[in-house]
Amino acid sequence: MNRHLARFMAVSTVVAMTAGGAMADDFIVVQSTTSTQNSGLYDYILPIYEDKSGVQIRVVAVGTGQAIKNARNCDGDVLLVHAKPAEEKFVAEGYGVERTDLMYNDFIIVGPPADPAGVKGMKDASTALNKIADSENIFVSRGDDSGTNKKEVALWKAAGVDPSQSSGQWYRETGSGMGATLNATIGMDGYTMTDRATWIAFGNKADHEILVEGDKALFNQYGVILVDSEKCPRVKSDLGQAFVDWMLSDEGQKAIASYRLDGKQLFFPNAPNVTN
């Protein structure tokens, strides 16, 4: 009877050992952000590139801060995030070959329709944030060092408010991705800042709506960087460069521009040397 046990063990071991095998080598890992993933952009453009090149693009979607850290650990071939100063630092320290503008969308401030802080229709982000702070209505922050979070912190600074003094009171830091933060915002009937793409694709809006948009300060620039093989010898430079080149090419840029959700364009390509 012990034979059965032994056989079960043996079979399961074989299963376990082979489970990780049989992986195609033609793939690259892109460290990116939840905002691009949650918007559905990758599901739309990656198959186009994969069909054309035969190279599989594996996207790890985390916050921008985490994505940059992962890339610093050489756990990715390409970095696609939205926090320009951090990206430039990454390149300056030799981890990235070169940073190139890829596309943009914009940030918006969403909140409850009753709008107790009275910011609806405002164009100026600083003034709007000041009003929210003064009214002490709940504002939900990512608080996760992501690109969106970095942008939000910069806006608070520009507005002359230090919300961290009120953390845990009207200023709530979720330490989570955009989606989880939006869910929390809906649940607390509060305000938050999000990128437009994630908001449009978000399925649990309840009756929250866009209250503040259109400020130049809310501009959200995405950049793309090939991880440097001098720091990270195992980086697949050729495959990675080919992907970056395609994203920046007319074809790639058109693909980004043609992604629509609910009839709305979510990302606006703006790579250099390309006219749109």
Smallest distance from other proteins to CB 92, Å: 19
**In sequence order, what are the beta bridge partners of 171?**
139, 167
At 62, phi and psi to the nearest 5? -135, -175
Q: Is the Cβ of residue 74 or residue 91 nearer to other proteins in the bound state?
A: 74
81 and 186 Cβ atoms separated by less than 8 Å? no
Smallest distance from other proteins to CB 229, Å: 12
**Interhelix angle 250-257/41-53, nearest 10 degrees:** 150
Q: Which residue, 225, 231, 224, is CA-closest to 95?
A: 231
Smallest distance from other proteins to CB 15, Å: 6
Max CA pair span of the chain: 77
At 35, phi and psi to the nearest 5? -65, -40
Enter the DSSP assignment of 63. Answer: -
Smallest distance from other proteins to CB 60, Å: 4
Look-up of token digits 């330490």: 175
Smallest distance from other proteins to CB 150, Å: 19
Q: Helix count (H) and strand count (E) of the chain?
A: 11, 12
Q: Is the Cβ of residue 94 or residue 214 nearer to other proteins in the bound state?
A: 94
Smallest distance from other proteins to CB 270, Å: 26
How far, in Å, CA of 103 to CA of 247, rounded?
Answer: 10
Smallest distance from other proteins to CB 40, Å: 8
How far, in Å, CA of 39 to CA of 55, rounded?
Answer: 22
Q: Is the Cβ of residue 43 or residue 162 nearer to other proteins in the bound state?
A: 43
CA distances in angstroms from 65 to 42, 47, 86, 90, listed in the order given: 20, 26, 8, 11
124 and 215 Cβ atoms separated by less than 8 Å? yes
Positions touching other proteins (CB under 8 A) are 1-2, 5, 9, 12-13, 15-16, 19-21, 23, 27, 29, 34, 37-38, 42-43, 56, 58-61, 70, 72-75, 176-180, 182-183, 201-206, 232, 234
